Structure 1
Amino acid sequence: MSLPGGLCNRTVDTLVDRLGAKEVTGPDGGPFQVLGSVMGPDPVGSVRIWTSEKVAKIVYIGVVVPQIGLDSHMVFAFGHEDSPIPHFTLDSVAAGGHLAFHLDLIQRVDAGIHMVYNDWAHTPISAAFEELNTLEGLSKAQLEPRQLTVMSSWMVANRANPEAFEKLDGPVNAYLEHWLSLVDSEVPAAVLADIEDTNLAVRDAKNRALLFSADVDKVWAQMTRLLGEETSEKLRLQLASNQISA
């Protein structure tokens, strides 16, 4: 398995196992959706979805097109709409001869006015964040400032050489284990008091509409060129809400 595929799939396996998640399969018992490409008749990837009592849904999207050097794997684990637990996301990819990854716990409230929340949801991953910003062989990916506004301050998006990519399991697991600890624990009363001014479901809907907006994230233009407009839009909507879109 490729470096990007291995990192993402190990993370997916941990999520599914630890959350006791059940897969939502397609009509044939396979992946929820098989992805085709405008480039030819052969499948280029798949969408897999799991549900769990602990979280709303887990979504994996994999796209592998060797003829253009693309090997992309991403997973999102979305909390319930009324939960303050961040959403977990990992994207690992090889494209254009480069390796890259994106890792975040997407905040559920305005970080600028909720420091008690920040210290519960994100401060414990600061050491892993620093490791991902100082590890030799990593360099920052270029994201537009407006795109950064819909992510957390602990988001990391870096390019990596193969040697550095092989060292990502440790910090990625630090993010993942902290996130799983939040899922498995009661939200402290002090955190609930800190965020009582926030309508979590309303904010989440607005945040995800921007996070997965084609206007904000240019990756959707690339997905449209590769998969076609209809398929790309279905993927975007699958991520923008907790509903499982057909």
Structure 2
Amino acid sequence: MSESHPRRLSETTLHAIVEHFNMQEVTADNGGPYIDLQSQLPMVQGSVGSVRVFTGGPLARLVTCSIVVEQMQLDSHMLYGFMPADSAIPHFTLDSVAAGEHFAFHLDLTPRSDLGSDIAYMNEVFEPLTPLYDAAESVEGLQPAHISPRQRAIMSPWMLVHRASEGAFLKLFDHVEQYRDYWFELIQKGVRNAPGTEQLVTRDKANRSAIFSPEIDPVWGRVDGLIGKDVGEQLRALLRGE
């Protein structure tokens, strides 16, 4: 079977980041992925995906989570590149999903300071993203994703989150690359208007706790139902930086 569009987008992005920063994979004791995700549903048996972890370079951790369940027509791939807790550089995130014949994606740089009060940080780090954001938003074949105001509040206003036709999804490959390359540039040059270390660390802990909260993001309830609550919490703890 040929590689799916969501997997290809995720794998292409993963390989670019790993190669750019010369990162190394952290494997399980058996040499396999960091976590092998086993189905807990009676209708689905065996492994339904994996969590991979990479370290090295300026990143604290790069985490991917792929879940593919043919019986449920689910093909989901998440990638999160985390900077250190005391860094002002945003984290990079990409979700690429196919559910049946429908596609969806989420692309963002997670702010490290409150954009509503830290205007200098917003202008330096996020305002240059505006042309890239506007170009991606204008792609024909996109529809709004169903996410709550609370979910939007804990990400950035430059977040791209949509359902997409197949044609629109394929056009997004270039836009993901542009966001990724802008993130590379930020890492290289740094942030002049950076909050203090204590503020960065405190906000990052609180923000990641919210982003990966089952109370705020209902997708975690479905994930727990598939792979089990204990493994789901292990994954969330990894994403929270614990």
Corresponding residue number in structure 2 for 1:211: 211
Amino acid at match of 1:230: D
Superposed CA RMSD: 1.3
1:17-36 correspondence to structure 2 within 5 Å? 17-36=19-38
The 8 Å contact of residues 109 and 198 in structure 1, kept in 2 or not, is answered as no
Instruction: Using structure 2 for the length normalisation, give the TM-score.
Output: 0.95
The DSSP-based 3-state class of the residue aligned with 1:14 is helix
Q: State the alpha-carbon separation in 2 of the partners of residues 197 and 78 from structure 1.
A: 16
Corresponding residue number in structure 2 for 1:37: 39
Which digits, 9 at most, give the CA deviation of each residue in 1:54-97, with x for residues without a partner? 01000000000001000000100000010000000000001243
Instruction: Using structure 1 for the length normalisation, give the TM-score.
Output: 0.93
The DSSP-based 3-state class of the residue aligned with 1:167 is helix
Gaps of 5+ in 2: none
The DSSP-based 3-state class of the residue aligned with 1:82 is coil
The one of 53, 69, 77 equivalent to 1:65 is 69
Gaps of 5+ in 1: none
Number of matched residues? 238
Corresponding residue number in structure 1 for 2:124: 120
Poorly superposed stretches of 4+, deviation over 3 Å: none
Q: State the alpha-carbon separation in 2 of the partners of residues 229 and 48 from structure 1.
A: 19
The 8 Å contact of residues 103 and 155 in structure 1, kept in 2 or not, is answered as yes
Q: State the alpha-carbon separation in 1 of the partners of residues 37 and 177 from structure 2.
A: 28
The one of 170, 176, 190 equivalent to 2:174 is 170
Q: State the alpha-carbon separation in 1 of the partners of residues 127 and 10 from structure 2.
A: 24
Q: State the alpha-carbon separation in 1 of the partners of residues 92 and 121 from structure 2.
A: 16
The DSSP-based 3-state class of the residue aligned with 2:18 is helix
Which digits, 9 at most, give the CA deviation of each residue in 1:30-57, with x for residues without a partner? 2111111112432110010001130100
1:57-206 correspondence to structure 2 within 5 Å? 57-188=61-192, 191-192=193-194, 195-196=195-196, 199-206=199-206
Q: State the alpha-carbon separation in 1 of the partners of residues 240 and 69 from structure 2.
A: 25
Q: How many percent of aligned residue pairs carry the same amino acid?
A: 39
Corresponding residue number in structure 1 for 2:10: 8
